Amino acid sequence: MSKYITLLLTIGIGACGPPRESPVGTSTLSAPKFDSSAPIDYECPKRQNTTGIRVGDTFPSVQFPNTEWDPVNIKTLCGNKAMLVVTATEWCGSCLVEFDYLAMVAPDWKTRGVGIYFTLFENAAGHPATSNTLIDFELYMLDIYGSIPFPVLADPSAMLPRSLGGGVSLPVTWALNREMVVTNFSEGSNSAMITEWVDTLLAEVPPPASPIF
């Protein structure tokens, strides 16, 4: 436990490489009158889109193991007002900074409809993340912030970073809307960036309910 506290107190806040961003997706929703008691009309996930990891795609229904090595599918977060998917490593200082920030704000975000899917593909030695790696991260959240607001998952085959091709700047973060459509993406993401994404998604008008005739 103490090694993570020491790392988070001593590392800088620069990303592990230069950041690259994609623009925020926009949508316009309007209608004259709606029945507020009717069910929300949206797909979860949105199947009309191409499945992929770029802005405008529906994020693939990936699943990664938790501390008990049970698979957790991202579709369990579908329907949240906003979702963040993060791929990181234990050896990346900027990843630890982003993780610490998420651990701090996640309890409040969770009550506002934000889901976080945090994945690690390597440990401090550069080896594939194991159950013990995940446990250390979750114990850090419990020790410092008093709760585990989101599970830490392992991506031991580095599926997410490999899907980007070539070297990547860490951490990598995707923002998804309630239909799992990618609205933002960046390599070398940071707390200010992802907070802006979340605030934008939380401020969006929800999909309309069935109209009253």
Does some domain include residue 27? no
As a whole number, the mean pLDDT across the chain is 84
Question: Does residue 23 lie in a domain region?
Answer: no
Q: Is residue 36 part of a domain?
A: no
Does any domain span residue 54?
no
As given in the structure block, the two tokens for residue 200 are 């934008």
Once rounded to an integer, what is the mean pLDDT over residues 133-146?
98
* CATH number for the domain that contains residue 92: 3.40.30.10
Q: Enter the pTM of the model.
A: 0.81
Least confident of 41-45, 110-114, 124-128: 41-45
Cβ neighbors of 206 (< 8 A, separation 6 or more) are 40, 81, 178
Percent with pLDDT over 70 in the chain: 77
**pLDDT surpasses 70 at 19:** no
101: nearest Cα among 193, 17, 22: 193
49, with CB counted inside 10 A (0-12, 13-18, 19+), is middle
Q: Look at residue 30 and tell me whether its pLDDT is greater than 50.
A: no
Range scoring the smallest mean pLDDT among 4-18, 103-117, 177-191:
4-18
In a domain, 17, yes or no: no
Per the domain annotation, does 70 fall within a domain? yes
Average pLDDT of the residues in 186-199 = 98
Cα gap 199→182, rounded to integer Å: 15
What's the domain range around 79?
2-8+59-203
Measure CA 89 to chain center: 14
Q: Tell me the per-residue pLDDT of 69-106, one tens digit each, with 9 for 90 and over.
A: 999 999 999 999 999 999 999 999 999 999 999 999 99
What DSSP designation does 75 have?
A: G
pLDDT at 23 over 80: no
Domain presence at residue 208: no
Lowest mean pLDDT among 102-106, 120-124, 205-209: 205-209
Tell how far CA 155 is from the center of its chain: 14
Number of domains in the chain: 1
Residue corresponding to tokens 């979750």 = 138
Half-sphere exposure of 104 (CA within 13 A, CB side): 9
Residue 208 pLDDT level (bands cut at 50, 70, 90): low
Q: Which of 205, 152, 149, 171 is nearest to 19 (CA)?
A: 171
Q: Is the pLDDT of residue 5 over 50?
A: no
Max distance between CA atoms of the chain, in angstroms, equals: 63
